[in-house]
Amino acid sequence: MLKQTEGSHAVAESVALCRPQVICAYPITPQTHIVEGLGEMVKAGELVDCEFINVESEFAAMSVAIGASAAGVRTYTATSSQGLLFMAEAVYNAAGLGLPIVMTVGNRAIGAPINIWNDHSDSMSMRDAGWIQLYAETNQEALDLHIQAFRLAEELSCPVMVCMDGFILTHAYERVDVPTQDQVDAFLPPYEPRQILDPADPVSIGALVGPEAFTEVRYLAHHKQLRALGLIPQLAAEFRKEFGRNSGGLIRTYRTEDAETIVVALGSLNGTVQEVVDEMRGGGSRIGSVSICSFRPFPLAATREALQHAKRVVVLEKCLAVGLGGIVSDGVRKSLSGIVLNGYTVIAGLGGRAITRGSLKRLFQDAERDELEQVTFLDLNADVISYELERESKSRRTGPTAEAILRRIGTVASGIG
Amino acid sequence: MFQIRIHGRGGQGVVSGAEMLSVAAFLEGRYAQAFPSFGSERMGAPVMAFCRIDDKEIRLREPVLEPDALIVQDQTLLHQVDLFNGLPPRGYILLNSTKSIDELGLGGFARGVQQYRLCTLPASELALKHVGRPVPNAALLGGFAAITGVITLASVLAAIRQKFPAAVAEKNVAAATEAFELAVKTKETIDA
Amino acid sequence: MVKFYQTGTFTVGNRLLKEDQRSVQADMHRTNSLNSGHRACQGCGEALGARYAIDAAMQATGNQLIAVNATGCLEVFSTPYPQTSWQIPWIHSLFGNAAAVASGVAAAQRALGRTGVRVIAQGGDGGTTDIGFGCLSGMFERNDDVLYICYDNEAYMNTGVQRSSATPPAARTATTPALGPSPGNVFGTGKNVPRIAMAHGIPYVATASVSNLRDLERKVKVAMGIHGARYIHIFVPCPLGWGSASEDTIKIARLAVETGLFPLFEAHDGEVTASTPIRHKVPVAEYLKLQKRYAHLFRNPPDLERIAQIQMMADRNIEKFGLLH
pLDDT in tens, C230-258: 999 999 999 999 999 999 999 999 999 99
Q: What is the pLDDT of residue C21?
A: 77
- Partner A, chain B 115-154, Cβ-Cβ below 8 Å: none
pLDDT digits (tens, 9 = 90+) for A306-326: 999 999 999 999 999 999 999
pLDDT of residue B104: 87
Q: How far is A29 from chain C (nearest CA, A)?
A: 21
Residues of C in contact with A63 (CB under 8 A): 93-94, 97, 100-101, 104, 135
C10 has pLDDT over 60:
no
Domains of chain A: 2-243 (3.40.50.970), 251-377 (3.40.50.920)
User: Cα–Cα distances in Å, from A214 out to A208, A211, B86, C78?
Assistant: 9, 5, 60, 19
Which of B35, B85, B86 is opposite residue A172, by nearest beta carbon?
Answer: B35
Tell me which chain C residue has its CA closest to the CA of residue A50.
Answer: C111
Whether C9 has a pLDDT exceeding 50, the answer reads no
Strands A22-25 and A75-79: parallel
Task: Judge contact between C73 and C124, C-beta under 8 A.
Answer: yes
For chain A, say whether C104 makes contact (Cβ under 8 Å). Answer: yes
Could B32 and A173 be called an inter-chain contact, meaning their C-beta atoms sit closer than 8 Å? Answer: yes
**In this structure, what are the phi and psi dihedrals at residue A78, rounded to the nearest 5 degrees?**
-145, 150
Interface check for A209 against chain C (CB to CB < 8 A): the answer is yes
Residue A155 φ/ψ region, left for φ over 0, alpha for ψ in the -120 to 50 degree band, beta for the rest: alpha
Judge residue A133's burial from the number of C-beta atoms within 10 Å of its C-beta, 0-12 exposed, 13-18 middle, 19 or more buried: buried
Q: At what angle do helices C98-111 and A58-70 cross, to 10 degrees?
A: 50
Q: Residue C82 above 60 pLDDT?
A: yes
CATH code of the domain covering residue B74: 3.40.920.10
**Percentage of chain C lying above the pLDDT 90 cut:** 89
The answer to whether residue B39 scores a pLDDT higher than 70 is: no
Mutation target to probe the A interface, by most A beta carbons within 10 A, among B3, B61, B71, B72 is B61
* Residue C162 CB coordination number (10 Å): 16
C158 in a domain, yes or no? yes
Q: What is the pLDDT of residues C165-222, one digit of tens each?
A: 999 999 999 999 999 989 999 999 999 999 999 999 999 999 999 999 999 999 999 9
Those residues whose C-beta lies under 8 Å from the C-beta of residue C66, and which sit 6 or more positions away, are: A71, A197, A198, A199, C88, C89, C90, C91, C105, C109, C117, C118, C119, C120
The Cα A163–Cα A149 span in angstroms is 11
Give the pairing type, strands B2-9 and B31-37: unpaired
The band of C24, judged by pLDDT with boundaries at 50, 70 and 90, is very high
Count of domains for chain C: 1
- State the CB neighbour count (10 A cutoff) for residue A113: 13
Q: Which residues of B touch A357 (CB under 8 A)?
A: 60, 62
Closest Cα to residue A320, out of A291, A348, A360, A292? A348
DSSP letter for each residue of C129-149: IITTHHHHHHHHHHT-SEEEE
pLDDT at position B110 is 75
Q: Could you tell me which chain B residue has the CA closest to the CA of A3? A: B26
pLDDT tens digit sequence for A93-108:
999 999 999 999 999 9
pLDDT of residue B45: 83
Per the domain annotation, does C228 fall within a domain?
Answer: yes
How far apart are alpha carbons C236 and C233 in whole angstroms?
Answer: 9
- Quick check: do A and C touch, 3+ CB pairs under 8 A? yes
Q: What is the pLDDT of residues C70-81, one digit of tens each?
A: 999 999 999 988
Q: Using the beta-carbon criterion (under 8 Å), do A53 and C105 form an inter-chain contact?
A: no
Q: Are C248 and C45 in contact (CB under 8 A)?
A: no
Residue C303 has pLDDT above 80, yes or no: yes
Q: Average pLDDT over chain A, rounded to whole? A: 95
Do the domain assignments include residue C280? yes
Check residue B45 and report its DSSP letter.
S
Q: How many domains does chain B have?
A: 1
Contact across the interface for B38 and A171, Cβ inside 8 Å: yes
Q: In whole angstroms, what is the distance from residue C33 CA to residue A279 CA?
A: 70
Which pLDDT score, from 0 to 100, does residue B79 have? 77
C65: chain A residues, CB-CB within 8 Å: 199
Which of the residues A107, A174, A279 would you substitute to probe the B interface, choosing the one with the greatest number of B C-beta atoms within 10 Å?
A: A174
In whole angstroms, give the CA distance from residue B62 to residue B59.
10
Give the pLDDT band of residue B14 (cuts 50, 70, 90).
Answer: very high
Minimum-distance CB partner of A60 among C66, C107, C138? C138
Give B72's contacts in chain A (Cβ within 8 Å). none
Q: Does A414 contact B47 at a Cβ distance shorter than 8 Å?
A: yes
**Mean per-residue pLDDT, B10-29:** 96
Does any CB of chain C come closer than 8 Å to the CB of residue A24? yes
Residue C39's domain spans which residues? 29-321
Q: How far is CA A116 from CA A31, A83, A91, A167, in A?
A: 11, 12, 21, 9
Quote the CA–CA distance of A353 and A417 in Å, as a whole number: 8
Asked if the Cβ–Cβ distance from A64 to C103 is below 8 Å, we say yes
Residue with the larger pLDDT of the pair C19 and A12: A12
- Please provide the average confidence, as pLDDT, over all residues in chain B: 92
Say if residue A297 is preceded by a cis peptide, omega within 30 of 0: yes
Q: Distance (Å, rounded) from C-alpha A361 to C-alpha A82? A: 33
Mean pLDDT, residues B1-5: 98
**Residue A73 and residue C111 in contact, taking contact as beta carbons nearer than 8 Å:** yes
Partners for A (CB, 8 Å, 3+ pairs)?
B, C
pLDDT in tens, A210-253: 999 999 999 999 999 999 999 999 999 999 999 999 999 999 99
DSSP state of B60: -
Does pTM top 0.90 for this prediction?
yes
Q: Do B60 and A271 touch (CB under 8 A)?
A: yes
> Percentage of chain C with pLDDT > 70?
95
Q: What pLDDT score was predicted for residue C8? A: 45
Q: CB-hemisphere CA count at 13 Å for C51? A: 21
A67 and C76 within 8 Å at the Cβ level: the answer is no
Q: Which pLDDT belongs to residue B100?
A: 86
Q: Do chains B and C touch (3 or more CB pairs under 8 A)?
A: no
The Cα of A282 is separated from the nearest Cα of chain B by a number of Å equal to 17
Q: Provide the mean pLDDT of chain C.
A: 94
CA distance linking residue A165 with residue A267, whole number of Å: 7
Of all residues in chain A, the one with the smallest CA distance to B26 is A4
Q: What 8-state DSSP symbol labels residue A253?
A: E
Question: What pLDDT is attached to residue C4?
Answer: 62
Q: B78-119, pLDDT tens digit by residue? A: 877 788 889 999 999 999 999 988 888 888 877 787 788 999
Chain B nearest C-alpha distance from A414 (Å): 6
Question: Nearest C-alpha of chain A: how many angstroms from B126?
Answer: 27
The gap from C-alpha A368 to its chain's centroid, in whole angstroms, comes to: 28
Asked if residue C7 belongs to a domain, the reply is: no
Q: Do A417 and B65 touch (CB under 8 A)?
A: yes
Kindly report the number of other CB atoms within 10 A of residue A285's CB atom. 18
> pLDDT at position A413, please?
43
Residue A358 has pLDDT above 80, yes or no: yes
Q: What are phi and psi of C172, to 5 degrees?
A: -85, 135
Radius of gyration in angstroms for the set of CA atoms belonging to chain A, rounded to a whole number: 22
Instruction: List the end-to-end C-alpha distance of chain B, in Å, as a whole number.
Output: 23
Q: Which residues of A touch B46 (CB under 8 A)?
A: 413-414
Domain range holding B100? 2-191
Within 21-80 of B, beta carbons closer than 8 Å to A belong to 22-23, 26-27, 31-38, 40, 46-48, 58-63, 65, 77, 80
Inform me whether the pLDDT recorded for C7 exceeds 60: no
Q: Are C210 and C266 spatial neighbours (Cβ–Cβ below 8 Å)?
A: no
Alpha-carbon distances, residue A76 vs A255, A327, C251 (angstroms): 36, 27, 49
CA distance A198 to chain C (A): 6
Segment B43-91, tens digit of pLDDT: 778 899 999 999 999 999 999 999 999 999 999 998 777 888 899 999 9
Residue A417 has pLDDT above 60, yes or no: no
Determine whether the interchain pair B26/A175 forms a contact, defined as Cβ–Cβ distance below 8 Å: yes
